[in-house]
Amino acid sequence: MKRKGGEAASSMTGAQAVAAVAAMCPQPPGQREFGINSIPLHTMDWYNRCRPKHIHPKGAIQEHNVKAKYLAIWKDIQDLGLSDVFKNTGDINLNLVGEFYAGLAPPDTEELVPICRRLIYFSAKAICDSLGASNVPVEPLEQFIRRPTYRELRHTLCRVGSTATWVRDKETNHDKRFPKKKMNAEAQVWLKLINARLLPCNHDTLVSRVRTCVLYFFMIGQRVNVGHLIRHQMASMRTSKKIDRMPFPNFLTRFLQHEWVGEEPEFDHTIDQLIRQTYITNLQLKGEAWSLIGAERNARDDSFMAHLYGMMDLQL
Protein backbone atom coordinates (compact mmCIF):
# COMPACT_ATOMS: atom_id res chain seq x y z
CA MET A 1 0.00 0.00 0.00
CA LYS A 2 1.48 3.33 -1.05
CA ARG A 3 1.14 6.44 1.02
CA LYS A 4 1.76 9.99 -0.07
CA GLY A 5 1.75 13.14 2.02
CA GLY A 6 0.62 11.29 5.13
CA GLU A 7 -2.60 9.98 3.50
CA ALA A 8 -3.32 6.39 2.57
CA ALA A 9 -3.60 5.91 -1.17
CA SER A 10 -5.43 2.59 -1.02
CA SER A 11 -6.81 0.08 1.43
CA MET A 12 -9.51 -2.41 0.41
CA THR A 13 -11.69 -2.14 3.48
CA GLY A 14 -10.84 1.45 4.34
CA ALA A 15 -11.05 2.74 0.76
CA GLN A 16 -14.43 1.13 0.21
CA ALA A 17 -15.78 2.68 3.39
CA VAL A 18 -14.47 6.12 2.48
CA ALA A 19 -15.79 5.82 -1.09
CA ALA A 20 -19.22 4.90 0.22
CA VAL A 21 -19.33 7.94 2.47
CA ALA A 22 -17.92 10.23 -0.24
CA ALA A 23 -20.66 9.08 -2.63
CA MET A 24 -23.28 10.65 -0.42
CA CYS A 25 -25.16 13.57 -1.94
CA PRO A 26 -23.56 16.99 -1.33
CA GLN A 27 -25.05 18.91 1.56
CA PRO A 28 -27.37 21.79 0.66
CA PRO A 29 -25.97 25.31 1.20
CA GLY A 30 -25.89 26.30 4.85
CA GLN A 31 -25.53 22.75 6.16
CA ARG A 32 -22.46 20.90 7.39
CA GLU A 33 -20.64 18.69 4.90
CA PHE A 34 -18.57 16.88 7.51
CA GLY A 35 -19.07 16.78 11.29
CA ILE A 36 -21.49 14.08 12.35
CA ASN A 37 -22.23 13.35 8.68
CA SER A 38 -18.76 11.88 8.19
CA ILE A 39 -18.43 9.92 11.44
CA PRO A 40 -18.07 6.13 10.90
CA LEU A 41 -21.23 4.33 12.04
CA HIS A 42 -19.37 2.02 14.43
CA THR A 43 -18.02 5.04 16.37
CA MET A 44 -21.16 7.18 16.25
CA ASP A 45 -22.15 6.22 19.80
CA TRP A 46 -18.74 7.23 21.15
CA TYR A 47 -18.89 10.55 19.26
CA ASN A 48 -22.33 11.36 20.67
CA ARG A 49 -21.25 10.52 24.24
CA CYS A 50 -17.97 12.43 24.06
CA ARG A 51 -18.34 15.53 26.19
CA PRO A 52 -14.79 16.51 27.21
CA LYS A 53 -14.52 18.68 30.29
CA HIS A 54 -10.82 19.32 29.90
CA ILE A 55 -9.77 21.12 26.72
CA HIS A 56 -6.81 23.25 27.72
CA PRO A 57 -4.83 25.13 25.06
CA LYS A 58 -1.10 24.52 25.38
CA GLY A 59 1.25 27.48 25.21
CA ALA A 60 4.81 27.52 23.96
CA ILE A 61 7.54 26.98 26.56
CA GLN A 62 9.29 30.28 27.36
CA GLU A 63 12.66 29.68 25.71
CA HIS A 64 14.60 32.74 26.87
CA ASN A 65 13.88 31.94 30.50
CA VAL A 66 15.08 28.34 30.16
CA LYS A 67 18.22 29.38 28.29
CA ALA A 68 19.08 32.03 30.88
CA LYS A 69 18.53 29.91 34.00
CA TYR A 70 19.27 26.37 32.82
CA LEU A 71 21.55 26.56 29.79
CA ALA A 72 22.45 22.86 30.01
CA ILE A 73 18.78 21.88 29.84
CA TRP A 74 18.23 24.22 26.88
CA LYS A 75 21.12 22.58 25.02
CA ASP A 76 19.78 19.10 25.82
CA ILE A 77 16.36 20.08 24.47
CA GLN A 78 17.99 21.07 21.19
CA ASP A 79 20.18 17.95 21.05
CA LEU A 80 17.26 15.62 21.79
CA GLY A 81 15.13 17.07 18.99
CA LEU A 82 12.56 18.63 21.32
CA SER A 83 12.84 22.25 20.17
CA ASP A 84 9.21 22.18 18.99
CA VAL A 85 8.19 22.85 22.60
CA PHE A 86 9.39 26.44 22.14
CA LYS A 87 7.14 27.07 19.12
CA ASN A 88 3.63 28.50 19.10
CA THR A 89 1.10 25.70 19.33
CA GLY A 90 -1.58 27.23 17.09
CA ASP A 91 -5.35 27.33 17.40
CA ILE A 92 -7.63 24.43 18.35
CA ASN A 93 -10.39 23.25 16.03
CA LEU A 94 -12.64 21.37 18.45
CA ASN A 95 -14.69 19.77 15.69
CA LEU A 96 -11.65 18.38 13.88
CA VAL A 97 -10.20 17.05 17.13
CA GLY A 98 -13.46 15.35 18.11
CA GLU A 99 -13.89 13.78 14.67
CA PHE A 100 -10.30 12.55 14.72
CA TYR A 101 -10.69 10.82 18.09
CA ALA A 102 -13.95 9.25 16.93
CA GLY A 103 -12.13 7.64 14.00
CA LEU A 104 -9.05 6.61 15.99
CA ALA A 105 -8.97 2.83 16.41
CA PRO A 106 -6.01 1.86 18.68
CA PRO A 107 -5.82 -1.81 17.53
CA ASP A 108 -5.55 -0.73 13.86
CA THR A 109 -2.23 -2.10 12.61
CA GLU A 110 -2.39 0.04 9.47
CA GLU A 111 -2.52 3.18 11.65
CA LEU A 112 -5.14 4.83 9.45
CA VAL A 113 -7.70 7.28 10.81
CA PRO A 114 -10.88 8.11 8.84
CA ILE A 115 -11.77 11.80 9.08
CA CYS A 116 -13.76 14.08 6.79
CA ARG A 117 -14.14 11.25 4.25
CA ARG A 118 -10.43 10.66 4.00
CA LEU A 119 -7.92 8.25 5.50
CA ILE A 120 -5.01 9.86 7.32
CA TYR A 121 -1.86 7.91 8.10
CA PHE A 122 -1.18 8.56 11.79
CA SER A 123 1.79 6.68 13.20
CA ALA A 124 4.56 7.39 15.69
CA LYS A 125 6.82 8.22 12.75
CA ALA A 126 4.28 10.66 11.29
CA ILE A 127 4.05 12.40 14.66
CA CYS A 128 7.84 12.57 15.01
CA ASP A 129 8.17 13.99 11.50
CA SER A 130 5.57 16.65 12.29
CA LEU A 131 7.40 17.67 15.48
CA GLY A 132 10.88 17.49 13.99
CA ALA A 133 11.79 14.76 16.48
CA SER A 134 13.79 11.58 15.92
CA ASN A 135 11.89 8.36 15.23
CA VAL A 136 14.13 6.31 17.50
CA PRO A 137 13.41 2.70 18.59
CA VAL A 138 10.97 2.40 21.49
CA GLU A 139 12.52 -0.76 22.97
CA PRO A 140 15.22 0.88 25.16
CA LEU A 141 12.66 2.96 27.06
CA GLU A 142 10.19 0.09 27.34
CA GLN A 143 12.94 -2.16 28.66
CA PHE A 144 13.97 0.46 31.19
CA ILE A 145 10.37 0.94 32.37
CA ARG A 146 10.16 -2.80 33.06
CA ARG A 147 13.57 -2.97 34.74
CA PRO A 148 14.99 0.43 35.77
CA THR A 149 18.35 1.05 37.42
CA TYR A 150 16.94 2.21 40.72
CA ARG A 151 20.13 3.58 42.27
CA GLU A 152 21.22 5.63 39.23
CA LEU A 153 17.67 6.89 38.80
CA ARG A 154 17.54 8.12 42.40
CA HIS A 155 20.95 9.77 42.11
CA THR A 156 19.98 11.57 38.91
CA LEU A 157 16.51 12.72 39.90
CA CYS A 158 17.38 13.57 43.50
CA ARG A 159 21.01 13.58 44.60
CA VAL A 160 23.90 11.20 45.20
CA GLY A 161 23.17 9.13 48.27
CA SER A 162 19.43 9.81 48.10
CA THR A 163 17.22 7.26 49.82
CA ALA A 164 13.99 8.40 48.17
CA THR A 165 11.62 5.46 47.88
CA TRP A 166 8.92 4.58 45.39
CA VAL A 167 5.27 4.33 46.33
CA ARG A 168 4.23 0.74 45.68
CA ASP A 169 1.02 -0.49 44.13
CA LYS A 170 -1.24 -1.92 46.85
CA GLU A 171 -2.36 -4.85 44.71
CA THR A 172 0.80 -5.87 42.83
CA ASN A 173 3.40 -4.45 45.24
CA HIS A 174 5.30 -3.10 42.21
CA ASP A 175 6.98 0.30 42.28
CA LYS A 176 4.33 2.60 40.85
CA ARG A 177 5.05 6.27 41.59
CA PHE A 178 8.01 8.44 42.55
CA PRO A 179 7.74 11.45 44.92
CA LYS A 180 8.25 14.78 43.17
CA LYS A 181 9.23 16.58 46.37
CA LYS A 182 12.45 14.55 46.52
CA MET A 183 13.58 15.66 43.04
CA ASN A 184 16.30 18.24 42.42
CA ALA A 185 15.79 21.48 40.49
CA GLU A 186 16.96 20.11 37.14
CA ALA A 187 14.57 17.17 37.36
CA GLN A 188 11.63 19.40 38.24
CA VAL A 189 12.27 21.67 35.25
CA TRP A 190 12.31 18.64 32.93
CA LEU A 191 9.18 17.29 34.62
CA LYS A 192 7.34 20.55 33.98
CA LEU A 193 8.26 20.35 30.30
CA ILE A 194 7.05 16.74 30.09
CA ASN A 195 3.78 17.57 31.84
CA ALA A 196 3.17 20.63 29.68
CA ARG A 197 3.83 19.22 26.22
CA LEU A 198 4.49 15.46 26.11
CA LEU A 199 2.49 13.65 28.79
CA PRO A 200 -0.28 16.04 29.94
CA CYS A 201 -0.72 16.01 33.69
CA ASN A 202 -2.16 18.43 36.22
CA HIS A 203 -1.36 16.54 39.42
CA ASP A 204 2.21 15.33 39.80
CA THR A 205 2.87 15.13 43.54
CA LEU A 206 3.52 11.45 42.87
CA VAL A 207 5.00 10.88 39.40
CA SER A 208 3.96 7.79 37.45
CA ARG A 209 6.50 5.09 36.62
CA VAL A 210 6.42 5.82 32.87
CA ARG A 211 6.77 9.56 33.40
CA THR A 212 9.65 9.01 35.84
CA CYS A 213 11.53 6.82 33.36
CA VAL A 214 11.00 9.29 30.50
CA LEU A 215 12.31 12.02 32.79
CA TYR A 216 15.41 9.96 33.58
CA PHE A 217 16.10 9.33 29.89
CA PHE A 218 15.96 13.03 29.08
CA MET A 219 18.24 13.91 31.99
CA ILE A 220 20.95 11.52 30.83
CA GLY A 221 20.66 12.63 27.21
CA GLN A 222 18.91 9.53 25.84
CA ARG A 223 16.48 10.12 22.97
CA VAL A 224 12.85 9.09 23.40
CA ASN A 225 10.31 8.37 20.67
CA VAL A 226 7.90 11.18 21.53
CA GLY A 227 5.60 10.12 18.68
CA HIS A 228 5.08 6.77 20.37
CA LEU A 229 4.38 8.49 23.71
CA ILE A 230 1.83 10.84 22.18
CA ARG A 231 0.04 8.15 20.18
CA HIS A 232 -0.10 5.85 23.20
CA GLN A 233 -1.68 8.64 25.28
CA MET A 234 -4.29 9.22 22.59
CA ALA A 235 -5.08 5.51 22.30
CA SER A 236 -5.43 5.21 26.09
CA MET A 237 -7.92 8.06 26.12
CA ARG A 238 -9.87 6.60 23.20
CA THR A 239 -10.32 3.24 24.94
CA SER A 240 -11.01 4.74 28.36
CA LYS A 241 -14.50 4.40 29.82
CA LYS A 242 -14.24 7.97 31.09
CA ILE A 243 -14.69 10.24 28.08
CA ASP A 244 -13.88 13.62 29.61
CA ARG A 245 -10.74 14.81 27.86
CA MET A 246 -9.02 14.95 24.49
CA PRO A 247 -5.26 15.45 24.89
CA PHE A 248 -3.00 17.23 22.36
CA PRO A 249 -5.75 19.34 20.73
CA ASN A 250 -3.30 21.99 19.50
CA PHE A 251 -0.97 19.45 17.93
CA LEU A 252 -3.82 17.50 16.33
CA THR A 253 -5.31 20.62 14.77
CA ARG A 254 -1.94 21.62 13.33
CA PHE A 255 -1.28 18.08 12.08
CA LEU A 256 -4.66 17.79 10.34
CA GLN A 257 -4.37 21.25 8.81
CA HIS A 258 -0.98 20.25 7.40
CA GLU A 259 -2.68 17.23 5.82
CA TRP A 260 -5.30 19.55 4.29
CA VAL A 261 -8.18 17.92 6.12
CA GLY A 262 -11.37 19.83 5.34
CA GLU A 263 -12.46 22.56 7.75
CA GLU A 264 -15.78 24.37 7.87
CA PRO A 265 -15.10 27.79 9.40
CA GLU A 266 -18.78 28.72 9.45
CA PHE A 267 -19.58 25.73 11.66
CA ASP A 268 -16.38 24.72 13.47
CA HIS A 269 -15.76 25.80 17.05
CA THR A 270 -12.22 27.07 17.59
CA ILE A 271 -10.07 28.19 20.51
CA ASP A 272 -7.39 30.76 19.77
CA GLN A 273 -3.79 29.89 20.55
CA LEU A 274 -2.44 31.10 23.86
CA ILE A 275 -0.44 34.30 23.74
CA ARG A 276 0.82 33.63 27.25
CA GLN A 277 3.84 31.35 27.27
CA THR A 278 4.48 28.56 29.76
CA TYR A 279 7.26 29.07 32.30
CA ILE A 280 8.87 25.87 33.51
CA THR A 281 11.67 27.38 35.61
CA ASN A 282 9.52 28.78 38.40
CA LEU A 283 10.06 26.19 41.11
CA GLN A 284 9.17 25.89 44.76
CA LEU A 285 11.98 23.80 46.17
CA LYS A 286 12.10 22.68 49.77
CA GLY A 287 15.59 22.60 51.20
CA GLU A 288 18.74 22.58 49.13
CA ALA A 289 18.63 21.87 45.39
CA TRP A 290 21.20 19.19 44.58
CA SER A 291 22.97 18.39 41.33
CA LEU A 292 25.53 15.87 40.14
CA ILE A 293 29.18 16.70 39.65
CA GLY A 294 30.96 15.64 36.46
CA ALA A 295 32.58 12.47 37.81
CA GLU A 296 29.28 11.28 39.27
CA ARG A 297 27.51 11.87 35.95
CA ASN A 298 30.11 9.82 34.08
CA ALA A 299 29.88 6.93 36.52
CA ARG A 300 26.11 7.01 36.36
CA ASP A 301 26.02 7.07 32.54
CA ASP A 302 28.48 4.17 32.27
CA SER A 303 26.32 2.14 34.64
CA PHE A 304 23.17 2.95 32.67
CA MET A 305 24.65 1.88 29.32
CA ALA A 306 25.82 -1.39 30.82
CA HIS A 307 22.35 -1.99 32.22
CA LEU A 308 20.68 -1.11 28.93
CA TYR A 309 22.60 -3.78 27.06
CA GLY A 310 22.15 -6.46 29.70
CA MET A 311 25.62 -6.43 31.28
CA MET A 312 24.68 -5.85 34.90
CA ASP A 313 22.21 -7.17 37.40
CA LEU A 314 19.31 -5.21 38.82
CA GLN A 315 20.46 -2.70 41.42
CA LEU A 316 18.13 -2.03 44.31
Q: What is the pLDDT of residue 207?
A: 94
- Residue 2 CA to residue 267 CA, distance in Å, equals 33
Return the pLDDT at 255. 94
Rg (CA), the chain: 22
Phi, psi of 121 (to 5 degrees): -80, 115
The pLDDT score that the predictor gives to residue 7 is 43
The letter for the amino acid at 150 is Y
Q: pTM here? A: 0.77
Model pLDDT, residue 42: 73
Asked if 210 contacts 195 with a C-beta cutoff of 8 angstroms, the reply is no
Backbone angles phi, psi at 8, to 5 degrees: -70, 130
Question: Nearest CA to 140 among 196, 216, 74, 199?
Answer: 216
pLDDT tens-place values along the chain, 316 residues long: 434 444 444 333 444 444 433 443 344 455 666 666 667 777 777 777 777 766 767 789 999 999 999 999 999 999 999 999 999 888 898 888 888 888 887 777 778 888 888 889 999 999 999 999 999 999 999 999 999 999 999 999 999 888 899 999 888 888 999 999 999 999 999 999 999 999 988 778 899 999 999 999 999 999 999 999 999 988 888 887 776 678 899 999 999 999 988 787 887 788 888 888 899 999 877 654 454 444 445 555 555 555 554 544 444 3
